[in-house]
Structure 1
Amino acid sequence: MKKLAFGPVVDDQTRLLILGSLPGDASLKAAQYYAHPQNAFWRLIGGVIGRDLAALAYLDRLDALKGAGVGLWDVIASAERAGSLDAAIRSPEAADLVGLIDSLPTLRVVAFNGATAAKMGRRVLDGRGVTLIDLPSSSPAHARPLAEKVERWAVLKPFVALE
């Protein structure tokens, strides 16, 4: 089944762009980034920006990210995939990452949420003059303790605007 990514969540104040691979089924059904209840994304990035994002309504979460200079998108624009696992992605079509980063005047760093995003994104963005950071996936399928993920995601703190 062909699955399509969402549009980017960015503005002209985006300093940190977090790239995932492709939204999973729960996210696609809800039309929201990181909608699976077991995905730790909102807790992880909330810890980075110092806000309890999980407690907010979805649009308020996005506003809080933008207010902290954080943007979201995916490295894959569309792909065939049964289920939600990155390992099941077939025939991926790349998102226009270069076009996006070139449109963000204050962008300083791109962080990849998981190995698939890092592998695909680095192919396109290496040498583009922006810092690239690989993060452990926020997905529940990536079985690492939450405390370890929190520690690894904390590297993003210098790149955000704390409220």
Structure 2
Amino acid sequence: MADGDAAFDATSDTTRWQGLAPVHAPDAEWLLLGSFPGVASLRAQQYYGHPRNQFWRLVGEVFGVDLVGQGYPERLAALRAHRIALWDVIAETEREGSLDSAIRNPFASDLGRLIQQLPALCTIGFNGGTALRLGLKQLGPLAARYRVLGLPSSSPAYTMPYDDKLRAWRELAGP
């Protein structure tokens, strides 16, 4: 299946989705990992493509760059320029809708392979509880080499007040 293609399985009444490719530069110091893109993001072929997702606003405020006011290609370029890599812990899954609780039969992303390409990596931030749980399981002992942060989900489905999310996300910038 090509990136972003979805296949419908008539026996399960569920759509099988392929995730997005990682975004990174070889000098990345931060790796931000989500669980799996929502339907709006997959259809747009853009990370955090739902207009109410707070990811771009949070990362922009943490790193001092206006990501919300930029187009998608400029956002990705800004991430690379700020040494931030982006991917998801799930490469492919079955899911109806966009909620993590609906994920079925996921195939893990090859996080170890990506990390090997990032020799300057210091911090791994997991965007939400599902990403943290699955990502730590995938990384195993490799996670101990990095500063690992479990961040509140930027999803609009996670209703924590924005200021509380931002306070937690500011940990990315360092202690």
> Which residue matches 1:142?
158
In structure 1, what is the Cα distance between the partners aligned to 2:64 and 2:139?
28
> Could you tell me how far 1:158 is from its partner in structure 2?
2.9
CA offset digits 1:52-101 (Å, max 9, x no partner): 10000100001111111101000000000000000000000000001111
> Which residue matches 1:120?
134
> Which residue matches 2:51?
37
Q: Which of 1, 4, 8 is 2:22 aligned to?
A: 8
**Higher relative contact order (CA closer than 8 Å, sequence separation 6+):** 1
Runs of 4 or more consecutive aligned structure 1 residues displaced over 3 Å after TM superposition: none
Specify the SS of the correspondent of 1:54.
coil
Letter in 2 for 1:71: A
In structure 1, what is the Cα distance between the partners aligned to 2:70 and 2:98?
24
Specify the SS of the correspondent of 1:56.
coil
In structure 2, what is the Cα distance between the partners aligned to 1:93 and 1:112?
17
Specify the SS of the correspondent of 1:154.
helix
Specify the SS of the correspondent of 2:150.
strand
> Which residue matches 2:6?
none
> Which residue matches 2:123?
109
Letter in 2 for 1:119: R
* Structure 1: gaps (5+ residues): none
> Which residue matches 1:20?
34
Letter in 2 for 1:139: S
Q: RMSD across aligned C-alpha pairs, in angstroms?
A: 1.0
Letter in 1 for 2:162: L
Identity, % of aligned pairs?
47
> Could you tell me how far 1:23 is from its partner in structure 2?
0.6
Scaled by the length of structure 1, the TM-score of the pair is 0.95
- Which range is displaced more, 106-115 or 124-133? 124-133
2:93 aligned with 1:86: no
CA offset digits 1:94-126 (Å, max 9, x no partner): 000011111111111110000000000001224
> Which residue matches 1:49?
63
What is the number of residues matched between the two proteins? 159
In structure 2, what is the Cα distance between the partners aligned to 1:103 and 1:64?
19
Specify the SS of the correspondent of 2:154.
coil
In structure 1, what is the Cα distance between the partners aligned to 2:78 and 2:116?
23
In structure 1, what is the Cα distance between the partners aligned to 2:165 and 2:24?
24
In structure 2, what is the Cα distance between the partners aligned to 1:3 and 1:116?
17
Specify the SS of the correspondent of 2:76.
helix
